[in-house]
Structure 1
């Protein structure tokens, strides 16, 4: 037996052992192993012309199930004004879904609980039509090495008035990739405002791989704010995709302020007449980081728009995108105004979050 075959056999055995130790359903373990088999046959994603072959995007170490030190999230407190789910490393530490929404069969839980307790809601949909595992090598890696994530399900006609805040905190106090998945299903007529935040605690060099899948059924409405603020020693791949059905709306407000090398893709696909989706992004890069940002809106796979993106490229960094770059020589107040201007028609809550994130990022330079 060759070393390559032995290595592949060891990887599969380690992956199967870790998944079984975790108590995952057999159908999901099988899908993990199939995704591992696909890795060598799939290409890396394109990255707006950046060369990413040498980026450390796929550590193949055995998955280890660990608890993180809760003191890393000591500054995060429950907030009665919003619904919160906070994950630190691999474990949820706050989940404040109100009882009245639980009574209406809204589900907000970690992704592995969803796999075990709600297979009828997730099994057929998970990484199948929205972001298939075969999309590229990094999506296949994601399915094989998934170690955390969130599932949000909104039944028909349920309108959630309180904002939902999901915070995913990478524990980089030790070597451990963040491979996390946010899966959202909005049934017909449902509605919510959702924020997804990414952050890093610690300085260890690590990988982050985040996928967000959104299924918006007919007449549903989702406003999604995504704030990516990973650390300088994190190399990340972030892919967000929504399938927008008849007369449904999904609006994305994306703030890309991670400090490490990053590939970030946000896309929506219309799957019915009257579907609508706006993608508005802002980005700040500095020092020597390289960031590639892609946004696109398609209609049954055919490109119909690229979204709006405004960014600033500081220091010796690279910001590769289709958007407009502000002059790096501008003062902080001018940069803040220019980077937040595209969100002028967003809700006050979205504007507040984006402005706060941009102000904090610019002040760190």
Structure 2
């Protein structure tokens, strides 16, 4: 049963903004349609999480941004995330500040190979024929109120296109910064890797200042064509004044693969859904998720693999640490559809609680509609083992340091397998910060 919904923008304003940005008519029409849908759709129904009790009113308004002349104009914390082994300003970088992209660069070598890495807003005008078939094709705008609102209100964003047979050896990077609680912050990421292509995409989300309950409502869509590979690394580090709502979805075709590396390191209430649709024969998905909950956070983190293709494989590993009065639901869902013979789906969720008032539920779910398959799961929830602490203390290590070592040992099976040194190092630093160590 639908309820009366107060939308964050009216139709006339939406159309006016779309035309002011010179968007193609099909995008303006899509925004209008999605806004109308948002008024009739319900919020997503999450396992053991009442998202309707969260602050979901402050989506902000679209505010035009001024292009940055150089990266020197970025906040110091933002610039620190851009450090690399090379000298000078990094290539293959996109920076969004609040409602829009303020900086974008791509190396000449990638340009010559036909790689496109730019803001989605710019891609609409320059590469509309490539954007239109894929935009909101992996995530359905009519799935729920949040996906409809995202379709209507998105701004800035990323379009990454890798042509057939092109191997992008150096990671491309996107940085999303919000520091204005009245500016809409809802980027859309669209990645398309053609046949035999490969690319690594790294994104960071950071916030600064108090943002008055701003809602981040983001969507990432990844299309992986036959025998292509996409590595998608995402670290969210938004503060407690931001409600974080994220959908990440990938469609993987024959003998193609996607690798997810996810760091859920924000401080406010958060919902994330990372889903792979294994459409093709021999398709593969690997997901590694790190999460730390602190204070009175409420988290709902879902990792999902849906097998359609024969001989498809998925592996999901989640490690979470909970402290203070934080609560979290961790869902691992492996769905094997009828006809996906010889599919193999494995998942592991482990939660370590550092406080008697913290709560973390691990929910491994296997949904199997085919006989000739393999599937397995493991899940555990527990506290720091006092015997391990005692053993380390007996060797001259302080209690605080002993607990720190145990926590890092708990997270290491995920962190140590991350192929990107930059992301692994960053996650370690964020874990230390969140745990106050």
Using the size of structure 2 for normalisation, the TM-score is 0.76
Which secondary structure does the structure 1 equivalent of 2:246 belong to? strand
- 1:346 aligned to 397, 418, 422, which one? 418
Query: 2:217: which partner in 1?
Result: 209
Deviation digits for residues 71-106 of structure 1 (CA, Å, limit 9, x no counterpart): 552441575466322212233333231001111111
Query: 1:175: which partner in 2?
Result: 182
Which structure would you say has the larger Rg? 2
Deviation at 1:299, TM superposition (A): 1.5
- Unpaired runs of at least 5, structure 2: 332-348, 356-383, 385-402
- 1:218 aligned to 226, 248, 261, which one? 226
Question: Could you say what the CA RMSD is over the residues aligned between the two structures, in angstroms?
Answer: 2.7
Deviation at 1:301, TM superposition (A): 9.9
1:296–1:306: 8 Å Cα contact kept in structure 2? no
1:221-232 matched pairs, under 5 angstroms: 221-232=229-240
- 1:158 aligned to 166, 182, 185, which one? 166
Is structure 2 residue 173 aligned with structure 1 residue 147? no
Separation in structure 2 between the aligned mates of residue 96 and residue 61 of structure 1, nearest angstrom: 27
- Unpaired runs of at least 5, structure 1: none
Query: 1:326: which partner in 2?
Result: 352
Query: 2:436: which partner in 1?
Result: 363
* Greater relative contact order, per chain length (Cα 8 Å cut-off, separation 6+): 1
Deviation at 1:191, TM superposition (A): 0.8
How many correspondences in the alignment?
A: 358
1:1-365 matched pairs, under 5 angstroms: 11-59=10-58, 62-67=61-66, 71=73, 73-75=75-77, 76=79, 79=84, 80=86, 83-128=92-137, 130-172=138-180, 174-205=181-212, 206-300=214-308, 307-322=316-331, 323-328=349-354, 330=384, 331-349=403-421, 350-363=423-436
Deviation digits for residues 222-271 of structure 1 (CA, Å, limit 9, x no counterpart): 12211111111001110100101111110101110100000011110111
1:48–1:321: 8 Å Cα contact kept in structure 2? no
Separation in structure 2 between the aligned mates of residue 143 and residue 348 of structure 1, nearest angstrom: 31
Deviation at 1:18, TM superposition (A): 1.3
Which secondary structure does the structure 2 equivalent of 1:178 belong to? coil
Separation in structure 1 between the aligned mates of residue 45 and residue 36 of structure 2, nearest angstrom: 21
Separation in structure 2 between the aligned mates of residue 123 and residue 16 of structure 1, nearest angstrom: 18
Query: 2:335: which partner in 1?
Result: none
2:197–2:229: 8 Å Cα contact kept in structure 1? yes
1:68–1:88: 8 Å Cα contact kept in structure 2? no
2:92–2:105: 8 Å Cα contact kept in structure 1? yes
Which secondary structure does the structure 2 equivalent of 1:134 belong to? coil
Deviation at 1:171, TM superposition (A): 2.4
Using the size of structure 1 for normalisation, the TM-score is 0.90
2:263–2:291: 8 Å Cα contact kept in structure 1? yes
2:281–2:309: 8 Å Cα contact kept in structure 1? no
Which secondary structure does the structure 2 equivalent of 1:157 belong to? coil
